[in-house]
Amino acid sequence: MTLKYCQGPDCHSYSTQDRLKGMKGSKTYQTRRRSRLIYDEFCDTRCYNDWFQKYGTQAVDHFGRLKEVKHLTEDNAWVKGYEWNNRTDECQHHTINTITKEQRPLTESQFNDSNYTLNERG
Ligand SMILES: [Zn+2]
């Protein structure tokens, strides 16, 4: 199992026992290495927050800053749901438009089919 380095810019500066490594007389606090990391990059939320505080604006500018409001229209406001009917003792599936509140029944297979949607864009 390969260990990955935490990408937190100050990870090595936090003086926890698990970061203190090396031979007596030459011990150093070191960046954490883990097989599993938060978002595959950070040992904990402090390191994640440190990274975002330092690089977040640069990252947003690099990958594309949102410069206008986005709209979710009626055409794409359908979400799936279900409710238990105590009278028939059955699960009833439906899709509901979160804007118009229109509700339409779904079969169980339509409900379970992640490609099935009334939305124009999936
Ligand atoms: Zn870290």
Residue whose structure tokens are 């977040």: 56
Distance from C-alpha of 11 to C-alpha of 9, rounded to nearest angstrom = 6
Banded pLDDT at 121 (limits 50, 70, 90): confident
Question: How far, in Å, from the CA of 57 to the mean position of ligand 1?
Answer: 20
Nearest to 16 by CA among 29, 2, 5, 27: 29
The three state secondary structure string of 48-102 is HHHHHHHHHHHHHHHHCCCCCCCCCCHHHCEEEEEEEECCCCEEEEEEEECCCCC
Question: What is the pLDDT at residue 115?
Answer: 93
The yes-or-no verdict on residue 122 having pLDDT over 70 is no
Share of the chain above pLDDT 90, in %: 92
Question: How far, in Å, from the CA of 32 to the mean position of ligand 1?
Answer: 5
Q: Read off the pLDDT of residues 95-117 as tens digits, 9 standing for 90 and up.
A: 999 999 999 999 999 999 999 99
Residues ≥6 apart with Cβ < 8 Å to 21? 27, 28, 29, 30
Share of the chain above pLDDT 70, in %: 99
Summarize the confidence of residues 82-93 as an average pLDDT. Answer: 91
Question: How far, in Å, from the CA of 12 to the mean position of ligand 1?
Answer: 7
Q: Read off the pLDDT of residues 18-48 as tens digits, 9 standing for 90 and up.
A: 999 999 999 999 999 999 999 999 999 999 9
